């Protein structure tokens, strides 16, 4: 990507974070806050010895983050529409036999139900965490977006820059009714912001996949469990380094759902059911797929493997 490594590497290797070969302070910080709680694998995978490989290039063919563009989370509660719906075959049958089971009813969560989940087990976003001191020193605001583009040597009209700008603006937008929202640019800040809202006694969960697979059909197995009604969900954004948008919403249930792929792949999935959708845009994809109106019924969706859920004990 042609980053300005003179600036970045200086921060990484000087007194800001200590030696480039030092142990990962973020991992130690996790253990100090949650001594008896293992870190989810989805977060472990984002810890890497500090070097230039912490950054990823946003490809020219990058698509906007699906969790932000058309999923229930974030700004699209009020503004999501169907501008790209023509690329999807929503009319091929019921909501569970269409192009994918993007959204579903709470009543669909029972053993034996078959769902089509596109690229459910793949890792699309390989960006890793920066140490907090380094992340805090990086510009991250709409007002400094030109500086961000210079830092990562990106053109203002590139697709990648558009995605970055949308994600930054999403972090800066006002919360919708009943929502508590924040963005975290390091693991340490992710921990602190979540603990400040829920305390230290909590379950920290993410979807766990036995192995990556190309199969799309998954069957709900036995052992589904409801684990909470008050939670914070953190979605990983597409950005050169790991950034999470976190939010909580009133009247939301969280479930652990065992899934079995058509090839036998086992998944310990996390599903979220939103019981109050009255503030969502009537043009939200969920209502078009399920053919219901805002506020009429709970709407559920599975969480990607890179999404973190914090649920108080």
Q: Are residues 10 and 133 in contact, defined by beta-carbon separation less than 8 angstroms?
A: no
> pLDDT value at position 22?
45
Q: Are residues 241 and 11 in contact, defined by beta-carbon separation less than 8 angstroms?
A: no
pLDDT digits over 206-249, tens only? 999 888 888 889 999 999 999 877 789 999 999 999 999 998 87
> pLDDT value at position 298?
93
> pLDDT value at position 216?
85
Taking Cα atoms as reference points, which of 90, 65, 64 lies closest to residue 286?
A: 90
> pLDDT value at position 124?
65
Helix locations, 106-244, DSSP H: 132-137, 145-151, 159-172, 187-198
> pLDDT value at position 249?
72
When mean pLDDT is compared over 78-87, 175-184, 238-247, the highest value belongs to: 238-247
Other C-beta atoms closer than 10 Å to the C-beta of 260 total 16
Q: Which residues contact 123 (CB under 8 A, 6 or more apart)?
A: 45, 212, 305, 306
pTM of the model: 0.79
Average pLDDT over residues 23-30: 80
* 264 — pLDDT class (breaks 50, 70, 90): very high
- Whole-angstrom CA distances from 47 to 28, 51, 70, 100, 200 are 11, 11, 28, 32, 21
CA distance 285 to 231: 23
Average pLDDT over residues 309-313: 89
CA distance 217 to 101: 10
CA distance 178 to 198: 16
By three-state DSSP, how is residue 187 classified? Answer: helix
pLDDT digits over 87-104, tens only? 333 333 344 444 456 789
> pLDDT value at position 93?
34
Is residue 160 predicted with pLDDT exceeding 80? Answer: yes
Instruction: Let me know how long the chain is.
Output: 313
> pLDDT value at position 126?
80
> pLDDT value at position 262?
92
For all residues of the chain together, what is the average pLDDT? Answer: 78
Q: Which residues contact 293 (CB under 8 A, 6 or more apart)?
A: 282, 287
At 76, phi and psi to the nearest 5?
-70, 0
- Strand order through the sheet with 179-184: 179-184, 244-249, 232-236, 308-312, 202-205
By three-state DSSP, how is residue 109 classified? Answer: coil
Taking Cα atoms as reference points, which of 303, 269, 282 lies closest to residue 71?
A: 303
239: its two tokens: 């950005």
Average pLDDT over residues 271-278: 90
pLDDT digits over 294-310, tens only? 999 999 999 888 899 99
Other C-beta atoms closer than 10 Å to the C-beta of 192 total 15
């Amino acid at each position: 990507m042609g980053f300005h490594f003179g600036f970045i590497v200086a921060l990484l290797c000087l007194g800001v974070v200590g030696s480039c070969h030092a142990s990962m302070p973020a991992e130690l910080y996790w253990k100090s806050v949650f001594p008896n709680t293992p870190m989810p694998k989805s977060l472990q995978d984002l810890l890497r010895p500090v070097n230039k490989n912490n950054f990823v290039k946003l490809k020219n063919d990058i698509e906007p983050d699906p969790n932000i563009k058309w999923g229930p989370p974030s700004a699209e509660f009020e503004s999501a529409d169907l501008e790209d719906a023509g690329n999807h075959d929503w009319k091929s049958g019921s909501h569970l036999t269409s192009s994918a089971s993007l959204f579903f009813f709470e009543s669909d969560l029972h053993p034996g139900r078959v769902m089509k989940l596109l690229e459910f087990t793949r890792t699309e976003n390989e960006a890793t965490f920066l140490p907090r001191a380094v992340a805090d020193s990086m510009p991250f605001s709409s007002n400094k977006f030109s500086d961000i583009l210079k830092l990562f040597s990106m053109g203002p009209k590139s697709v990648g820059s558009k995605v970055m700008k949308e994600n930054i603006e999403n972090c800066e937008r006002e919360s919708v009714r009943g929502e508590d929202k924040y963005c975290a640019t390091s693991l340490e800040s992710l921990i602190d912001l979540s603990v400040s809202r829920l305390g230290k006694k909590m379950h920290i969960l993410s979807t766990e996949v036995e192995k990556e697979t190309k199969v799309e059909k998954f069957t709900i197995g036995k052992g589904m469990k409801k684990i909470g009604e008050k939670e914070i969900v953190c979605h990983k954004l597409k950005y050169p380094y790991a950034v999470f948008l976190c939010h909580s919403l009133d009247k939301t249930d969280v479930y652990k759902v065992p899934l079995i792929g058509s090839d036998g792949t086992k998944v310990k999935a996390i599903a979220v059911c939103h019981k109050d959708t009255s503030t969502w845009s009537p043009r939200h994809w969920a209502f078009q797929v399920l053919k219901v109106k805002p506020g009429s019924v709970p709407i559920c969706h599975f969480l990607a493997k890179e999404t973190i859920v914090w649920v108080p004990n």
